[in-house]
Amino acid sequence: MRSKQPTIWDIAIKLNVSISTVSRALRNAPDINPETKKAVLDLAHQLDYQPNTIATSLRKNKTDIIGVMVPEFVHAFFPSIILGIQEVANAAGYKVMVMQSGESLEIEKHNLQAMVSSRVDGLILAITRETNDYEHIISAQRKGLPIVFFNRVVDELQGSKVMVDDYKGAYIAVQHLIQTGCRRIAHLAGPENMTIGRNRLNGYLDALKAHQVPIEDELIMHCDFVDGRARACTQRLLTMENRPDALFAVNDPTAIEALICIRENGLSIPDDIALAGFSNAPHGAFVTPSLTSVVQPIHEIGGLAAQLLLRQIKAPQQFIPETHVLDTTLVIRQSTRAKPE
């Protein structure tokens, strides 16, 4: 029963002109009589004609679609970034196709293939936490697919990258913990193969060194963004003979898991244990105690990534990869002690 959609053929026949003329009218080409153009447009509107972008894409060899793949989007972080991407992409006449890898390398590979097969004009990508083999990505790049990486960035891949100053963010967060009197500061860390994890760890380490706080390896727990692991790690930390008096979490979801665990153990924040996160979302403001966190310009990340990608799409030959590092700042809330003066 599916009624077929009208094509330029239908319009051409009804108006007794050629499909060339119809095509010209629809994509307002210069050499056409204003009257016939109007006739075509009127009929098109009357038939509720919608151009078949598939045919156009095949012919023009471009889809005007940019793909976005993120590990997940149930936390607000990636959705907010996608918002930023969509704004600049739509403004430039591009559509956005969103996929999620679910933190699975296999799905990432599969989705990437699908993107390549659908001939997206470019891709904005945050890799999986388990992505340690980059052949599928490099293969796509070899095919000429422009890719911009963000958030989860890795040295082995080349291409434009958008990241934030993870090192500085971690440094100032840990410094703040030290300055408010904490001495045994644990770190719920991210994956070490990713720049984001390494930089935050380094910021943590250097802040400790700079303030002559001894580094203890058993206080560094790798949670690696996997759900539930932060809770287990926190539990281990809390039952140590010499309990830490502060936690610095690699991101907010990790911090919130820790917060719940601490609360369940009947300890108070920040009196027994202070807690700082790395902001993925505005939600940290709503938990109690509200979360001290490093904030990053989320919206800007998406917009910038899209801009870089569009630039590369439009001039692929003279394009030189750029790495942008956006600034981070600390927002002090209730989960850390007030600065003593």
Q: Could you list the residues that contact DNA (CB under 7 A)?
A: 4-5, 7-9, 16-21, 23-24, 26-27, 31-37, 49, 51-52, 55-56, 58-61
Stretch of 54-62, 174-182, 203-211, 300-308 contacting its own copies, by CB under 8 A? 54-62
Least spacing, CB of residue 236 vs DNA, in Å:
53
283: Cα within 13 Å, side-chain hemisphere:
14
Least spacing, CB of residue 53 vs its own copies, in Å:
4
| Spatial distance between the Cα atoms of 215 and 206, rounded to a whole number of angstroms | 10
Least spacing, CB of residue 23 vs its own copies, in Å:
15
> If DSSP codes are grouped into helix, strand and coil, which group holds residue 126?
coil
What 8-state DSSP symbol labels residue 219? Answer: G
| Residue 100 contact, options DNA, its own copies, none, Cβ 5-8 Å cut-off depending on partner type | its own copies
Per the CB < 8 A criterion, the answer to whether 128 and 104 are in contact is: yes
Quick one: tokens of 71?
A: 């590990």
Least spacing, CB of residue 21 vs DNA, in Å:
3
| Residue 8 contact, options DNA, its own copies, none, Cβ 5-8 Å cut-off depending on partner type | DNA
| Residue 142 contact, options DNA, its own copies, none, Cβ 5-8 Å cut-off depending on partner type | its own copies
Please give the C-alpha separations between residue 199 and each of 65, 108, 273, 329, in angstroms, as whole numbers.
33, 24, 24, 15
Phi, psi for 110 (deg, rounded to 5): -60, -45
| Residue 158 contact, options its own copies, DNA, none, Cβ 5-8 Å cut-off depending on partner type | none
Per the CB < 8 A criterion, the answer to whether 319 and 141 are in contact is: no
| Spatial distance between the Cα atoms of 265 and 246, rounded to a whole number of angstroms | 15
Interface of this chain with its own copies, residues 86 to 145, rule: CB under 8 A:
86, 95-100, 113-114, 116-119, 139, 142-144
Output the CA torsion sign for 154, 191, 304, 313: positive
The one-letter code for the residue type at 76 is A
Rounded to 10°, the helix 135-142/105-117 angle is 10
Per the CB < 8 A criterion, the answer to whether 27 and 63 are in contact is: no
Least spacing, CB of residue 24 vs DNA, in Å:
6
| Residue 32 contact, options its own copies, DNA, none, Cβ 5-8 Å cut-off depending on partner type | DNA
Closer residue to its own copies (CB): 99 or 201? 99
Least spacing, CB of residue 286 vs its own copies, in Å:
5
Stretch of 15-23, 35-43, 51-59, 171-179 contacting its own copies, by CB under 8 A? 51-59
Tell me the pairing of strands 329-331 and 292-295. antiparallel
Least spacing, CB of residue 15 vs DNA, in Å:
8
Q: Which of 19, 76, 178, 332 binds its own copies (CB under 8 A)?
A: 76
Q: How many CB atoms lie within 10 A of CB 153?
A: 20
Tokens 């109007």 belong to residue: 38
Contacting positions for its own copies (CB under 8 A): 1-5, 48, 50-55, 57-58, 63, 73-76, 79-80, 82-83, 86, 95-100, 113-114, 116-119, 139, 142-144, 256, 259-260, 283, 286-288, 316-317
